[in-house]
Amino acid sequence: MKIIILILYTSLLIGFFGCASTNITSFIDPDYKTTNFTRVLIIANLSDLQWRQQIESRLVQEFRDNGIFALEGINLFPPTREFTEQEKIDLLIQNKIDSYILIDVGETGTEQVYIPQTGSSTKTEGSVSVHGKTTTYSEETRTTNYGGYTVSKPWAKFDAKLFDVSNGQNAWIASAFTSGNAYANHNTVINSFCGKTVKQLIKDGVFKKGTYKVEMKKSAK
């Protein structure tokens, strides 16, 4: 029971206190400063399927939360199939996709940070027990130290490129560095990166908030 409570408490700490921040630098090609894309395909260029699915699904959710149509690349182009370039183009056209984002994950890791001891507190509790005519007094002293331990902070580097489906031109690029606090994990890092990337695309004017309707053509067989 104590183990279950500890797991739940740890999960709550991560949920409430686990956070990450993303620094992103972007650049728009001069030909696209007045262009607004409306339907985007998300492609995480990763062999690790778990990371790919997490990044693609999170970016899609961030776009949709801002009223922009987005689709996971893994659903349109399943990695279990081989596609010719023409088949890929046909599927993009059928789904009216006008742009796609290619995400690359660079270096990842954790930063070990030592938290120095800042102090301690001591608490003494006493108790009395009676056995027949004998009374016994005992006390217990507990000392709590603050600091004096090491925490791990996750981080990752990302690159993002937005392409125009109509001509294959690279319209927008960005590089980002995301770092989390002691309660964060790599999911927290991914969520921060995805949220900041969509905000940056909207800020740069490449996309505008609006409404969307989910509709996807079946992948080629």
pLDDT of residue 141: 75
Distances (CA, A) of 41 to 99, 196, 209: 6, 17, 16
Residue 2: strand, helix, or coil? helix
- What does the mean pLDDT of the chain come to? 85
- Asked if pLDDT for residue 181 goes beyond 90, the answer is no
Tell me whether residue 191 is in a domain.
yes
Residue 100's contacts (CB-CB under 8 Å, 6 or more residues apart) are 40, 41, 42, 43, 73, 92, 162, 163, 165
pLDDT of residue 13: 42
Write out the H or E segment, with its range, that includes residue 168: none
**Tokens 């690279």 label which residue?**
170
Tell me whether residue 221 is in a domain.
no
Tell me whether residue 29 is in a domain.
yes
CATH number of the domain where residue 67 is located: 3.40.50.800
Average pLDDT over residues 4-11: 40
Radius of gyration, CA atoms only, the chain: 26
Tell me whether residue 143 is in a domain.
no
Torsion angle of the four alpha carbons 21, 183, 189, 197, in this order, in degrees rounded to the nearest 10: -30
Residue 215's contacts (CB-CB under 8 Å, 6 or more residues apart) are 95
Provide the domain count of the chain: 1
pLDDT in tens, 72-106: 999 999 999 999 999 999 999 999 999 999 999 99
Q: Would you say 101 and 165 are in contact if contact means Cβ atoms under 8 Å apart?
A: no
Domain hosting 108: range is 2-113+151-203
Tell me whether residue 66 is in a domain.
yes
According to the per-residue pLDDT averaged within each range, which of 62-76, 115-129, 177-191 is highest?
Answer: 62-76
pLDDT of residue 184: 83
Tell me whether residue 98 is in a domain.
yes
Whole-structure pTM value: 0.74
